[in-house]
Structure 1
Amino acid sequence: MTTAPDRTTTPLWDAPVADGPLDATVEVPGSKSLTNRLLVLAALAEGEGTLRGALRSRDADLMIGALRSLGATITEGGEPSTLHVTPGPVTGDVDLDCGLAGTVMRFLPPVAALADGDVRFDGDPAARVRPMLPVLAGLRSLGVRVVGDGPDFPTHLPFTVRGRGRVAGGAVDVDASESSQFVSALLLAAARFERPLVLRHIGATLPSLPHIAMTVATLRDVGVEVDDSRDGIWQVTPGPIAARDVRVEPDLSNAAPFLAAALVAGGTVRVPGWPAQTTQPGAMVPDLLEQMGATATVEGDVLTVTGTGQVRGVDVDLHAGGELAPTFAVLAALADSPSRLRGIAHLRGHETDRLAALATEITRLGGRCEETRDGLVITPRPLHGAVFRTYADHRMATSAALLGLRVPGLQVEDVATTAKTLPGFDTMWLRMLGRTPEDQG
């Protein structure tokens, strides 16, 4: 369901038009996906750990607040992106605010099952339509009691996990067709279960496999034994979770709109800190941009993308990196030929129904964007200015800014929603263009 905010109360941001080729270096904060996985494991570890370069955004701060409520002590170091985490017994009789953060609402119910009492989950109105059944049913099959506000078993927020201080472990079948987070959620807490967890995915498709690979790699980095040698089956052996001092990689998916700006406006954008090896889906960005007409090179840890202002249409499968789809959908709307984005049916269950939202907003600007069973077909047409609604979805907002580089008069509704994963996005965007908020008026 795509529910737009009330435009009578939501401020509009005038998306700046590029007045020439770009020449910018953009420092991108830490990965939200890694930050929230590392926070969960640090809260369950044997001793005090430290995260350096952690993302500080609404999603990360919701995770920090929830873990504090569950008994962990989390303090800032010399700067907000340095977090010291001291584990404590997982405590119940608390209420957790999930906001609109999928990692909070899905990663923490298995942690809450280790608590000594009830843990109540709720979030933003838009969060109450995001699917939760696979992880909650998985917990039920492991002997954990979960209840909703009514007599039926809950499938969405709000719900209560009735922790008993322990989870036995065992075998569980999960349909993670709608989100890989359902797999990651159970894997992250499984080292604290009493017996090995054997998790089998039983759905027809499994999106965002890099995010599961990220979870497995992060678990192994803290000494947890994970067997993923069989497709669609994971086994986690109970054991200690090592405390670590770790630096968080930049968020490569948040870098995508900035790098794509070089393709739209022409010129060059550089992002330092690009990892040589990573499990982030954003690692797909350089290749995808090259398919659409850019050149991308890495020297040391700096990724440089250069474009001419010409964009080529593509036919790509984004099954492994669906979070990139909004960026590449709006690029496709500016291309010289039609594009097809495939393998992203699961985006209908994200912050909003992203497929419907993208089709609606690109069409509002005069473009042609049609939904398919598992994606979008975009046929470029001349675009005009209008209000681009964001549906409380941070990636809709960043994508609108990208379109605005070429479409005069485009106004972005609620650009502040980018604070979910990238606080200060609007200022970063202006700086990339060599401007300041004062220049914007």
Structure 2
Amino acid sequence: MTATPAHTALWPAPHARGAVDATVHVPGSKSVTNRALVLAALASEPGWLRRPLRSRDTLLMAGALRAMGVGIEETVSSNSATTHVDSGTGTGTATGPGEAWRVIPSTLHGPATVDVGNAGTVMRFLPPVATLADGPVRFDGDPRSYERPLHGVIDALRALGARIDDEGRGALPLTVHGGGALDGGPVEIDASSSSQFVSALLLSAPRFNQGVEVRHTGSSLPSLPHIRMTVDMLRAVGAQVDTPESGGEPNVWRVTPGALLGRDLTIEPDLSNAQPFLAAALVTGGTVVIPDWPEHTTQPGDRLREIFTEMGGSCELTERGLEFTGSGAVHGIEVDLGEVGELTPGIAAVAALADSPSTLRGVAHLRLHETDRLAALTKEINELGGDVTETADGLHIRPRPLHGGVFHTYDDHRMATAGAIIGLAVEGVEIENVATTAKTLPDFPELWAGMLGN
């Protein structure tokens, strides 16, 4: 008997029989883990990453750095993540064998081949690293990765002295011909399609001969919290960074050349990946606790406290973690998500179950993510009976009684978790390719079942 391919398999989204009451240990942040890997690889001494996320995107980053000569040692040698779920208490946790990674910097080298999968952080953060390698580094990935914008990084690196072959595509596949060093200096880019263009240049800039001065010349810059995350993490390893927030020019970031320190860093939980679990409390009128929620963070997911409270919940930071409780009612919201666009799919799913309309603005750039998230959300929610329309920069959602059906994911992890949220309140929802959640949230189905006490 032939097994059903993962990308076509249907997962019956569990329907909540009542209010959830669970503690969910969310794995480490992808955004922090992948930035930490790059900075540790470029440091002047070994460092440790503790409680890193072990998912497709982070393993692709680690594999790419290894291909260029960086040593990355895991404290446990098992090849698969393990999920612990206590169905009696509704407590779930996902841990991987990479509970600590030791990163040992080395002289970067080519020839090397990097598989980026469909990870924006890998395809954008590593070409600048590859300019420091001694030899060519080829970048390739999933078919969707060819459609995602990369021109900002490519054009900027060329302006800074790099040689890159992309056959004029401004996208993957491409080859960076590393020369062992890069001049660096001032560069202008339009990062309006992805803040990762800025972060990509800043992360490697301390190793450029002249550092870098990045000037954003386009329209509004999305996902600014992720740039702040990059800056904070650079400063934590000894880099000198001048930013608009620290009194510099608007839309200009300067990094001074210098050695980076090897640090011992514990990775925060991924607050964006906490979203579906918090949404479960909101949708079912229950309570979910997320341990180790940081008091201060640059993660965009921290804004969920504000957004989901406005949509009908309440939350409190306690010794247990973030305790979030739904009121039993879900309200619509008008909100600009420009800085936190990755939260849009989960918010759209909750809005489809609300008691009043919602308007989500400022997220036109989501058309260029893992899939066209605005078109995908519109199609999938509407096929379950919803009433969603695309706007120039977002979605307008009018709640309607929903029914079961297949919720397609388009190989997008956040589409899968959005469908699971709807499935809590709507019987008969089946998620196509729930396995795509492994991109950033290993063992999501087991965590979801554990939360529900299944």
Q: Same-fold call, TM > 0.5?
A: yes
**Where do 4+ consecutive residues of structure 1 move more than 2 Å?**
6-9
What code does the residue aligned with 1:226 have?
A: V
What's the TM-score, normalizing by structure 1? 0.95
202, 209, 215: which one pairs with 2:230? 215
Is the Cα contact below 8 Å between 2:382 and 2:388 reproduced in 1?
Answer: yes
Q: CA deviation at 1:156?
A: 1.1
Q: CA 1:9–1:306 in 2, change beyond 3 Å: closer, same or farther?
A: closer
Matched, 1:278 2:297: yes
Task: Give the paired residue count.
Answer: 427
Q: Which residue of 1 aligns with 2:156?
A: 138
2: CA distance, partners of 1:104 / 1:287? 30
Matched, 1:61 2:59: yes
Q: Write out per-residue CA displacement over residues 364-406 of structure 1, whole angstroms, 9 at most, x where no aligned residue.
A: 1010111111100000011000100000000000110000001
Q: Which residue of 2 aligns with 1:184?
A: 199
1: CA distance, partners of 2:24 / 2:5? 31
Is the Cα contact below 8 Å between 1:147 and 1:154 reproduced in 2?
Answer: no
Q: CA deviation at 1:196?
A: 2.7
Matched, 1:353 2:372: yes
1: CA distance, partners of 2:238 / 2:5? 49
386, 401, 416: which one pairs with 2:420? 401
Q: Which residue of 1 aligns with 2:110?
A: 92
40, 47, 52: which one pairs with 2:50? 52
Q: Write out per-residue CA displacement over residues 301-335 of structure 1, whole angstroms, 9 at most, x where no aligned residue.
A: 61011113311000001111000000000111001
309, 322, 337: which one pairs with 1:290? 309
CA RMSD, 1 decimal: 1.2
Q: CA deviation at 1:9?
A: 6.2
Q: CA deviation at 1:154?
A: 2.9
1: CA distance, partners of 2:10 / 2:147? 26
Q: Which residue of 2 aligns with 1:3?
A: none
Q: Write out per-residue CA displacement over residues 131-179 of structure 1, whole angstroms, 9 at most, x where no aligned residue.
A: 100000000111111112x4xx231110111111110011101111011
Gaps (5+ residues) in structure 2?
77-96
2: CA distance, partners of 1:93 / 1:165? 12
What code does the residue aligned with 1:88 have?
A: S
Matched, 1:204 2:234: no
232, 239, 250: which one pairs with 1:231? 250
2: CA distance, partners of 1:316 / 1:269? 24
Q: CA deviation at 1:265?
A: 1.1
Is the Cα contact below 8 Å between 2:7 and 2:432 reproduced in 1?
Answer: no
SS in 1 for 2:186: strand
**Percent sequence identity over aligned pairs:** 57
Is the Cα contact below 8 Å between 1:276 and 1:301 reproduced in 2?
Answer: no
Gaps (5+ residues) in structure 1?
1-5, 436-441
Q: CA 1:8–1:250 in 2, change beyond 3 Å: closer, same or farther?
A: closer
Q: CA 1:315–1:199 in 2, change beyond 3 Å: closer, same or farther?
A: same
Q: Which residue of 2 aligns with 1:16?
A: 14
Is the Cα contact below 8 Å between 2:6 and 2:433 reproduced in 1?
Answer: no
Q: CA deviation at 1:267?
A: 1.1
18, 39, 42: which one pairs with 2:37? 39
Q: CA deviation at 1:8?
A: 10
What's the TM-score, normalizing by structure 2? 0.93
What code does the residue aligned with 2:371 have?
A: T
Is the Cα contact below 8 Å between 2:23 and 2:290 reproduced in 1?
Answer: yes
Q: Which residue of 2 aligns with 1:108?
A: 126
SS in 2 for 1:216: helix
Is the Cα contact below 8 Å between 1:275 and 1:301 reproduced in 2?
Answer: no
Q: Write out per-residue CA displacement over residues 71-92 of structure 1, whole angstroms, 9 at most, x where no aligned residue.
A: 1000101542210000000111
1: CA distance, partners of 2:438 / 2:50? 19
151, 164, 186: which one pairs with 1:171? 186
